[in-house]
A and B are shown apart, each in its own frame.
Chain A
């Protein structure tokens, strides 16, 4: 569980273009979340183009592939899963 200090927030005033502001509003509306959440997500993951829906899709494809080969080539099935698991490790890396 995260510590209380990690959950503390600060207020910052940020200037941005009208179009960026609109883009954030539109995404928030589309996803049913607050613009503040969209801004935080973009800032926290700005160096990472992977996101959870994309990773889940890649994982589902890997599951289909490993299921198809599991019976005849179980080692290959495991290898597919391990390779995708490497991509998963980049989801929360921003460097």
Chain B
């Protein structure tokens, strides 16, 4: 079973936004944990400051700097995902669901979390690139994303919302 977690922070949103972006570029320091890959979609994937500024520039363009700045999804893959190539391929295919509409940074971490060996983070600008609309982060949208995760991995996908 895969677990799809959605984090949506509205208090001190900009601090959380910056922290999230930095986190996805940071090497893991704990033993047995590893940053496998960081990828950018519509943002730089080698420099967290540039990535943050590029997301903020889109918010400014549409005049949406004051709302919930970022969506954070975490997919913990089933323990049948045992290699980095599969984890990276799955994360890329899951991110395809939003690419072209939203800027994103994805990161794959290798870390044992209750049997799950890999998890993918997706940090997404809440402002749509094409129309400036804010992403609607309801349960319906999360379930639709979970269906997409299921189609990609073939595993049942459980959803969780963390506030």
Contact = CB atoms under 8 A, between A and B. Distances in A.
Interface of A: 1-2, 31-33, 37, 41, 44-45, 51-53, 55-57, 59-60, 62-63, 66-67, 70, 77-78, 81-82, 84-85, 88-89, 91-92
B130 A59 contact: no
Nearest to B128: A52
Interface in B114-163: 129-133
B61 A33 contact: no
B92 interface: no
A1 B61 contact: no
Contact of A91 (B40, B41, B45, B57): B57
Interface in B43-83: 43-47, 50, 53-54, 57-58, 60-63, 65-66
13 contacts: A32-B131, A32-B133, A33-B131, A37-B132, A41-B132, A52-B62, A55-B58, A63-B39, A70-B46, A78-B47, A85-B47, A91-B60, A92-B60
Given A53-B130, A78-B46, A81-B44, A92 B63 contact: no
A56 B66 contact: no
Main secondary structure of the interface of B (DSSP, over half): loop
Interface of B: 39-47, 50, 53-54, 57-58, 60-63, 65-66, 103, 129-133
B40 A92 contact: no
The 7 closest A-B pairs by CB, nearest first: A56-B42, A1-B66, A52-B129, A52-B58, A33-B131, A31-B131, A85-B50
Nearest to B60: A92
A3 to B, nearest CB: 9
A60 to B, nearest CB: 6
B53 A88 contact: yes
Contacts of B131: 31-33, 37
A1 B65 contact: yes
A44 B61 CA distance: 9
Most buried by B among A1, A32, A60, A77: A60
A60 B42 contact: yes
Contact of B54 (A1, A59, A78): A59
Nearest to B129: A52
Contacts of A66: 45-46
Contacts of A70: 46
B46 A92 contact: no
